Every structure is written in C-alpha cells, then in structure tokens.
Chain A
Amino acid sequence: MKRVVAVILSALMLLTLFGGCAQSAAPATSSADNAASSEVASSAAASYEKAKEPVTVTIWHECDATIAQTIQDELNKLAPDIVVKVERKEKMSEALKLVGNDPASAPDMYFFAHDKIGLFAEMGILAPITDFITKEDLSSMIPMTIPAGTYKENIYQLPLYFETLLFMYNKALMKEVPKTTDDLLAYMKANTKNGSYGYVEQHSTAYYTAGWMQGFGGFIINDKAEPGLNKQEMIDAVTYHQQFVKYMPADGEYNTVTTLFKEGKAHSIISGPWLVPDVKKAGIDLGIAPMPTINSTNKPITPFSGVQGVSVLKSAAQTKKDAITAILKQLLKPDIGIALAKAANCAPANTKCYDDASISANEMIVAMKKTADNVVPMPNVPAMDVMWSITENMLSAVNKNNADPKTECEKAQKEALSQIEAMK
C-alpha cells in the first residue's frame, strides 16, 4: 500500500513539475470567447458565423489602473467586432524579451514609454505602425512625440500622452520665481538654512540632471548610440551644476526631495506630474513656472520627456491586421487624449485635444504642453540602458564626493564606450 501511495505521489510531483511547461491551447481567448465559439459551432450556419467571430486583441501595460481603464473604455467602443483586453503585466519589458516572438504567449500590442522601442525593434519583435496607418494620420501629433517612437527611420509607436519634468514651486514660500539659473542660485543661497531649502532636485539622478546637460547643449547619448559624456558642453554643465548641489540635501534621492517639498521645507522643485496629486493632498499651494534659463547659453533647462503610447508586435501584425488598424484609428481620435487628461491629468500627444475647454483650463497640462517645445525625448537606442548607471556614477562622484568633473566625465565616457561594446 505504502509503495502505491509513494508511486502516486511521485507521479503527481512530476506532473506538477512539468505542468508549467504546457502550452495553453487557446492562449488569446477568454472563457467568454470559448463559450461564444462553442455556440457558434453548434449553430447551423457555422462557417458563415465563424467569419463574423469577434477578433480578440490583447494589449499589455504596466501603468496606473486609471489610465489602463480609460484605454479599455475607449477601445470597448470597437465591440462587438473587436474585443480588446487591456491586461496588466508586471515587469512587462522583461516578459516581452522572453516571449516577444512567440505568438502563443505574446500580446498583440503593448502600451509603454517610448524608450524601449529601440530595444524591441532591434530584437525584431515590433511591426512599424505605418503598416496600419499612414504618416499623414499622425500629422496632428505634437512634433517631438513622433521621433520619440521612431527607430532607424521606422515609426513603432502611436503616442497617446507624454510626461516631462516641471518647475514647481510653493506659492506661499516663493513670491517671485527665478527667471534664470543665476537668479535661482542666488535665491538658494539666500533661502537655504535651518533644514529649509530654496530649491531641491534629484541632483545625482541622470533623468533629472539631463535637463541641465541638454540646456548646455550636451547629451548623454545621441541617436547614433554615441555617448557624449566627455564633450565640453557636458563638462561645463556638470561643473556649473555642482555649485547648486551645495545648497541641496546631500542625499538627493526621490523620497528625500519630494518629502521636503511636500512638507513645505523646500520652496521649489523640478519633478514630474506624478508628484502633483500628493503635493495638493499635502495642502501645498502649488505653482508651475517655466524652466529657468541658463545664463551662459540663454537656453532653458531642457528636460527629458517620456512618450507613452501603443506599439504592435510583429506576430500579430499579419493575423490581426484589420483589427489592429481599427484600434490604431480609434486611438488617433482626440477622444482618448481628452479622456486620459480628464481621468489622470495626462498631457495628450494629439494637438486636437487641446481645443477641448476642459484641457485648456487645466494649468498643469497647459504647462506641460508649453514645455513640449523645449524637451528632448529620452533616447530610445538600446545602448541607453547602460548609460543611466554610468551617468549616475559620474554625477554622484562629482556631487556627493566632490570629485573633479572633467576627470569623472572622461572616466564615464571610457566606461560608456566599453559597456556599449560589451552589449554586442
């Protein structure tokens, strides 16, 4: 008896072990679809009905639930012919690397920021959106949102909204907003005392400091995947920026600087729109101002922008072409941009949305729209993946350990070249 039990248990263990390897017979259809298809099969005119069977399109995302729901609601308008399932996938970009070319496991489309486009395009899992819609269809988009999703001359993303950094200030503490960076420095010198700060930012985080670098005409990496860390503009930017860091909290990471601003201990901050709900909840009288102009270049601080949009996977491009075209056309209408702006304060990529009264009355969205002429989309070349860490090592050595900017920039450039080489 014992033996029998042991054998059964062993068999069960082995079965569960291999259970995960099994492929789902109908991965892209839900139980509702299965039920629908069985009904169809039992009907008399089965073949005719089959032609009218709804097409299911799965869109992966990793964003806020409100945003996902808004996209889902918009695409529900295509039912019953096209059933769209907007599904949350944790660690989505990692998941796409693993299953991106497997039609059984991969989604048909995904919704994400533009900066991974180069990586996925290079892996060969994306289809250009111009296979479904024309370039003219995109003419109403804010100009910078199109190059953001373009890699090696192919457009891979239909932009829905964009994010960028804003100069936010506490109206109760800062009466006059500094117009130039020299004014800002003077303000910081006068107002940084007793645990209170004139201005704070994540001074050693590449995403935030890039605005200073780009304001000086420097760049972290260009679209040819050439790093620019040792360019004179970059050295000038890092050296100039170093003097601001003295008047900011030494540990300039996200939680520290945002808490200071929310607690009214920092008069101003450069941060993203995601901070606004928390700041308002904390009872801060929030103002949004244009970025200060850098005196030596006469250009404002020029931050990165992230463009959020949908991309199509190659595996779905052939089998579901009509459905995907219909989805992209639906998302080309201003409706989705207006809905996202109303639901989650997103700045629409489609300029037509700004004709809507509710959008033009939204102070934050209008401020973001204004900065859109003055932003650089995050590089989407795959080599950018290694640049974040290298740039931050450089910045933290200069800002937190008082290292010499020129030496660190040279060191970082060398490191960048060797890391980019190591990717190949």
Chain B
Amino acid sequence: MKKKLLPYLYSFPALLVIGLIVLFPILYTGYISLTNMNIYHWFNYSFIGLDNYVKALFVMDSGFIPAVLRTLLWTVINMMLQVVLAFFIALALNAEGLRLKNLYKTLLMFPWAMPGYVSILLWRMGMFNTEFGMLNQWLRTMGFENINWLSGNVMAFTCCTVVNLWLALPFMIMMIDGALQSIDKAYYESATLEGAGFFTRTGKITVPLLRPIVAPAIIMSTFTTFKQFDIIYLLTQQQGAKTGADIHTIITYVYEKAFITNNFGYSSAVSIVIFAMIIVLSIFTRKDLKEEGR
C-alpha cells in the first residue's frame, strides 16, 4: 500500500503546480462561461447556464467558417514550407566541407533570439511600409509604382506567411540539424558503396531516420501555427493601423468578435469552444503519429 501511495506523494507538489497553473484556469474559464460576468454585472454576476454558448455559436456567423478554412490553409501552407525549407537548409548546413558552419548557424538562429513582437513590427515598418519600407524603396528605384503590400487579401496572406517563416524556421532548422547529426554516417557510406545517389540516400536513409525525431517538433509547430495571433494581428489588424485586408484566422476573429466586448462570460464560452476544437485536432494528430509509429 505504502509503495503504491509513495509515488503520488513525491509527485504531489508537481501535480499541484500543474493543477494550479494549467487546470485551474481552464476550469475557472469554464465556470465563468456559465455566468453573465460582463461590465453590467461585473461584481454581481450570476449563473446563467448555457446562454453564452448559444451566443458563441451564433457569433460564428458568416465570417467564422471562412476564418476556420483560412486557419487550416494557413497551417498547412506554413507547415509544408517550414519543413521543406528547414530540411534543405539543414542538409546544406551538414554538407561535407562547408566552411564557417557555426557562423551560418548562429545567423540562422538570429530571428529566434529576437522578441517576436519586435520582429513583426520591424517587418511592418522596415519592409512592408508603403513610404519607408525597403520593398517599395527598391520598386521606386527600379522605376515602378508603390505597392500596398498588406491591403489585398492574397498579398497580405503571403506577407504574413513570409514573416511566419522568418520567425519559425530557426526552430525547425535546429531540430532537423540535430536529428541529421544523430544519423550514423556508416549508413551513407555503405549506401554509397552500393551505388546509391543523393536522392536515394535522402529518401531511403535520411527521411525515415529523421521522422521519429522531427515529428514532435512538427506537431508542436503545427499548434503554434494554428493558434498564431501576433503576426496576423500586428501586420494587418492592429487598431489604429488596420490595412483593409480581411485575413482573420480563428483566433484573431474571435478576439475581434468577443474579447473586445468586455463580456468575460461570453469570451470564456468562445475560448472553451476553441479549446475543444484544439483538443479534437490534437486527438487526430496523435492518432496519426501512433499509426506512423507502428
């Protein structure tokens, strides 16, 4: 009996901390979502059942489905580009005889070392700004007209993708680079002896051996990309600097629909609905991963 209880006792402090900082906020959000806590009932809120959920589903009107589809498209495009680009950059970094490897690696890590908020605003002012941005300065020097990079939907989406890649590539490159170095060189040597070329070696040795190591990194990045807020909000939706592009993802959409209303009950209900969506998504990805593992 003592043996059975002891592990729980040891892990109790950690479980308590996890409970307080992870579980409690979720449960509390769930509780608030069942109340009418808003500015008109700030301190004297009461239990109102599922009314907020009805309202939350109602808000998911015509704009919500496009936002969901856009979020999925955003996640798929970004993840594909991230993995493919990071893979080739990491391969290049591991090329035989490459000089100044460490310098390149340090430079490639640079975007990661900078706070995201700062990078995004630098991109906005330094690159995409219509008057002072580098892109338009180049265009003007070459005799072309200014382009408003962030106002059209397709163009703004592309610009956001570029910034997301700039911010997210370092992590993926580091993971793939680490995984590449863990592959035993003997495999390549024997494959070369057998007459395998670059593509055969990459397809038959590198990719299969990378998969188990890189998969968790991809899953983590997928969630970060799915719930990306900063890039889209700061580049196109920031109050006082909206660009006219409507490229809301789920998170920016509900932020604009729910969170600015100061209605905590309602915002909590929307949060719980998104939370449920992410849980469903994670169940699917876990299932995929397990099947792949077999």
Give chain A's interface residues, CB within 8 Å of chain B.
10, 13-14, 17, 97, 101, 119, 122-124, 195, 202, 204-205, 207, 249-251, 253-256, 259-260, 382, 385-386, 388-389, 392-393, 395-397, 399-401, 403, 418-419, 422-424
Contact = CB atoms under 8 A, between A and B. Distances in A.
B143 to A, nearest CB: 13
B17 interface: yes
Contacts of B128: 251
B130 interface: yes
A124 B240 contact: no
Contact of B242 (A101, A122, A204, A250): A204
Contacts of B132: 256, 259
B102 interface: no
A122 B39 contact: yes
A309 B163 CA distance: 42
17 contacts: A10-B13, A17-B20, A97-B42, A119-B262, A122-B42, A202-B240, A205-B241, A249-B131, A254-B241, A382-B39, A396-B151, A396-B244, A401-B244, A422-B263, A423-B40, A423-B263, A424-B40
A253 B262 contact: no
B252 to A, nearest CB: 11
A393 B241 CA distance: 10
B248 to A, nearest CB: 10
Contacts of B190: none
Contacts of B42: 97, 101, 122-124
A400 B140 CA distance: 20
B146 A13 contact: no
Interface of B: 13, 16-17, 20, 38-40, 42-43, 55, 59, 125, 128-132, 140, 146, 148, 150-152, 239-246, 256-258, 260-263, 266
Contact of B131 (A10, A195, A382): A195
B243 A400 contact: yes
Contacts of A400: 148, 151, 242-244
A422 B257 contact: yes
A259 B256 CA distance: 29
A123 B41 CA distance: 7
B129 A251 contact: yes
A399 to B, nearest CB: 7
B261 A388 contact: no
Contact of B146 (A17, A250, A396, A424): A250
Contact of A14 (B16, B241, B243, B246): B16
A422 B131 contact: no
Contacts of A13: 13, 17
A251 B262 contact: no
A424 B42 CA distance: 11
A204 B263 contact: no
